[in-house]
Structure 1
Amino acid sequence: MIIETLYAHFLECTSACTDTRKLEKDCLFFALKGDHYNGNKFASQALDSGAKYCVVDEAEVAIDERYIVVDNVLETLQQLATHHRKTLNVPILALTGSNGKTTTKELIKAVLSKTNVTTATQGNLNNHIGVPLTLLQINEHTDIGIVEMGANHPKEIALLCQIAQPDYGLITNFGKAHLEGFGSLEGVIKAKSELYDYLKAHHKVIFVNENDPIQVQQTSGYEQVHKFGLPTSSDTRLKLVKSQPCVSLTYNNRTVNSQLAGTYNFNNMAVAIAVGSYFKVNREAIINAIEKYTPTNNRSQILKQGNNTIIMDAYNANPTSMLAALENFKQLQQGKKHLFLGDMFELGQTAANEHQFIVDYLEQHDLGQVYLVGENFYNTTVTSKWIQKFQTVEALKFYLNTTRVEHSFLLIKGSRGMALERILDML
């Protein structure tokens, strides 16, 4: 089917959808295929549930004019999103990075929404499916679109840039994430910098953190750059004031007090302030947005449970973010401290070394009582009496049934697959 014809059908619909469990009435349903599912088998169900049309790539399921048969549903979704993007007179800001993408995106949205109608990636739907769906949510009422881009292999960011065609972009940081796909930190830098490559080639604007030497190096010689950070050369100057219990910084002769835990969130806040400043959001509105933003979904949350205070950062973890969390926790001046650390996933052949590196750090710095959870941490070598290992969360639960953790400051951090938020119910 010619994409213009499909686009005409899309304009008749309320939205685009890929999940029969989340259908909107009169939506355009895309019957995607995966390793363990085939959306074509649910096309008729989608129509019965209220979809207006279904895009399928198995002709035998198409029994009437409500089915739109294409060669490849995923590629068609991506092509439709790009076609839609070209019809919009809306600036698109793209962001990627190893850590802090979703928090940064939410902070930017909070700031820009003070004076603009914004449409942003929902949750962390930042891949080759989520980016097209985000673009298809943008309409003529949107002033600015914010598109989060994730990747775990080279060339993925380049593909997402071709789909979204951003006008502005930024990279939160470069860290040891998804090493199974990228191979090394150098591989991460090269892959994430595909966003820089696109923006430079198309003479678009890049936001650069001058406190990050890798960002400065990767954008050397670029024409359209908005710099932010501590140096006097920065277009938006910001300085960290304190990080305990939450991050505070100075901006434009004002102190900004956030509800975000962890020194690493200084850079996430700085990005949002720089973007807001560039787009002429006034100072008071920017400060209000940052100070009112409350973290959710197990990302840098400070929780109170009984007489314990908890830093809940269990949404995800990699060697860089884990070390940053430990460095931040080390600075806390509280009394009793407990650390619940779960395995870091997608590290490939580096997994054993990276987990042992974290253990070696913990042995060199007495941060408190440490509980390591997961196969990778369980297989590390531990000599310190303050570090205990548990092969599974269930094993930890059995231990906590006989041990009380009270009047303490806790850090809970691990990869999403570990679901360490379950620990809250065990304490």
Structure 2
Amino acid sequence: MDFALVGLIASLILLMVLALKGMDLLIAAPICALVVALSNGLPIFATQEQGDIANYSDSYLGGFSQFLKVWFLVFLTGALYGKLMEYSGGAKSIAHWIIEHVGMKRAVTAVVLATGILTYGGVSAFIAAFAVYPLAASLFKQADLPHRFIPAALALGSVTFTMTSAGSMEIQNWLPAPYLGTTPYAAWQVSLFTALAMAAIGIYWLNRMIHTAYQQGERFILPQASIIASVEAEQQQNVNPLTAVLSLLAVFITAFLFHQDYSNNALVIALVAGCVVLVVGYWRQLSQHFTKVGSEGALGALIAGANTSAVVGFGSVVKATPAFAFAVDAVTAIPGSPLVSAAIAVTVIAGITGSASGGQTIALPILGPIYLDAGANPEHLHRTISLSSGVLDSLPHNGYVVTLIRAICGESHQSAYLALAKMTMVVPGICTVLALYFLA
């Protein structure tokens, strides 16, 4: 068992290192899963005589394909919605309006609100980051604030309170529902409190960090690798944000109306409704771009779905090992409230996979029934799992973290990751503990 645990830990470290080196998750995840399998004595393939014995190939591809089968339409409609928001200028119009009205003196608050509204309404964190970053860079430049804190501000608004809160259109809020018999609005009272606390703590703490850096002489410097060559050139505003806001409302209302009857498919219906509003309202801006929207949206859905599925496949191999069984037994044996045990288990699994959705997908079918049988309230368990999945998912190998810091903002992990980690791991961790105080 000691060697099996060493193999599991080594594979996790290797996955982080490969991700930091820029290796695609579609390559890195199966390599690291192979390390887990070999160190735990899993055969790579099963022979005909062995039948259905657990093996590396079936475990990895089974987890990969099952996740894609269940969630691909969500990825596809979400990607199309995001691309329509992008090409119409709707996403930037909302961001620009918020930043313009909140003002330069509250740069962090403006950036967090802009990304938060977009992601809570169903726009992917990647699209929101691409849309808001040029405006954030312009705002930070005007205030002469250190550029390296922009990734933390964007991440705080997109992958913390908006990702795991009741009513959010993000997949991390919807995943527990079919396993627990709940809705995306589970435990909304506690969720509202933790979301406000997460936003308030994060904004205050990030402002303090920026103030300290400013006092120490740091100023705005645009990195060479930033996606924008000229910040001012990206600041043009051409469309009315009202249509974009109406599309967000259409997503919220449709999801609320259909979630009881259609469960996760209600999210697909809601995103389609949002797409229709954007097409009708921004027809003039979009009419020349439908081919690009379709091709880029489909490609984006495949990439996002495949990358997440690759991590889920890694986790599925981990799930088939003796080391994982030992870890589950240890976690579920923790005395006290089953919600505390669930929070610890999901936090660890999401950290191992580097994915909140991946961690939930692995944990829910195994641990959900255990905690329900232990007497956990399904709605409280839903919110606990959703919140705790967002605590350690932002380790350095997380795909969004790598893309945001390096590809969008042009920063390095060395310069930007510490502030981002405080916003996306420490702050959600504090608020998960607060939620458990009320729920457990």
TM-score (norm 2): 0.25
TM-score by length of 1: 0.26
Structure number with greater Rg is 1
